[in-house]
Amino acid sequence: MVFFSILATGVYRIIATQVSIVRAVEERVICPNLARAACYYARLENDSDQTAYDSLGELLAERELNLGHGKAVYTQIDEESKLNLNTCSEDSLARLPEMNINLAKKVLASELFPFELIEELLLVEGITPEIYAEIKDFITVFSNNKININTASAEVLIAVGIDEGLTGLIVEYRAGPDAKDGTEDDRVFETVPEVIDELRSYGSLSGAQEALLLSLESQGLLTVESKNFELKINTQILGKNALKYDIILDKDWIKQWREF
């Protein structure tokens, strides 16, 4: 009996090892193809979009793509909702959480500039992991150097010089009656020139706030559409969670590929 117990244990370990190897091979082969398929369908959807604007509601909506025994679940994040490290001003960078003008000067004077990855900030003197964690969701190196007023966070709107009162009005307007981002009743600015009229009709704008919006518009710093997207993809094989991907793509193809 002891012999058969040992034999059974050995057989189990061999089978378990083989199953693990098969699983690993499946992930290495199937998951990248699922991610590529998600990129293809996301690009196809964006290309077929007939509107000249993009909103949080349409980008944050979760999509599912089923292919054989695999599935990809993905959402999109607008890179134009973030501050571009390589084109922003010192003042804008300094207004981000935990940043200041001295740190901003160090970043833009770094020998690493222009940055290829936002993680390179961690190599800049004074940018600690704690500071990086506070700002990483608000910065990019892949945008078209404009801020999408439909998708930018309050932190980014403040960074580009919009005061807290006007920022609150923009965020409240976009969220719609249910006060939640990414839902069906979200409001959207269809063009940059209509932003002032829409906000004036919705709330109260001061002369200084209108002048600020006009200045940002004249400088070409605002947009209502997205050109670059981050896809956050979760893959599954036979119903079990597999690899994850963060992929940056524009309306042509892939700019950055990360697998976890």
State CA 258 to chain mean position distance: 13
Beta strands in the chain (DSSP E): 63-67, 70-78, 83-84, 139-140, 147-148, 222-223, 228-237, 240-250, 254-259
Instruction: Supply the DSSP symbol for 259.
Output: E
**How many folded domains does the chain comprise?**
1
Exposure of 253 in the CB half-sphere (CA atoms within 13 A): 2
Q: Is residue 156 part of a domain?
A: no
Burial of 254 (0-12, 13-18, 19+ CB in 10 A): middle
Q: Is residue 63 part of a domain?
A: yes
Q: State the Cα–Cα distance between residues 222 and 215, nearest whole angstrom.
A: 10
Q: Is residue 42 part of a domain?
A: yes
Rounded to 5°, the CA angle 71-34-142 comes to 120
Output the tens digit of pLDDT for each of the chain's 260 residues: 554 455 444 444 544 444 445 455 677 789 999 999 999 999 999 888 889 999 998 898 899 999 988 999 999 999 999 999 999 999 999 999 999 999 999 999 999 999 999 999 999 999 999 999 999 999 999 999 999 999 999 999 999 999 999 999 999 999 999 999 888 899 999 999 999 999 999 998 999 999 999 999 999 999 999 999 999 999 999 999 999 999 999 978 899 999 99
Q: Is 110 helix (H, G, I), strand (E, B) or coil?
A: coil
Q: Is residue 103 part of a domain?
A: no
**What is the value of pTM for the model shown?**
0.88
What pLDDT is stored for residue 27 in this prediction? 78
Q: Is residue 216 part of a domain?
A: no
Q: Is residue 209 part of a domain?
A: no
Closest CA to 226 of 30, 34, 45: 45
Q: Is residue 192 part of a domain?
A: no
Q: Is residue 208 part of a domain?
A: no
Domain of residue 67: give its range: 2-79+227-259
- Tell me if 83 sits within 8 A of 139, measured CB to CB: yes
Indicate which CATH number applies to the domain containing 237: 3.30.1300
Q: Is 227 helix (H, G, I), strand (E, B) or coil?
A: coil
> DSSP letter string over 173-186?
HHHTTTT-TTSTT-
Instruction: For the chain, give the longest Cα–Cα distance.
Output: 90
What pLDDT is stored for residue 17 in this prediction? 47
State CA 107 to chain mean position distance: 22
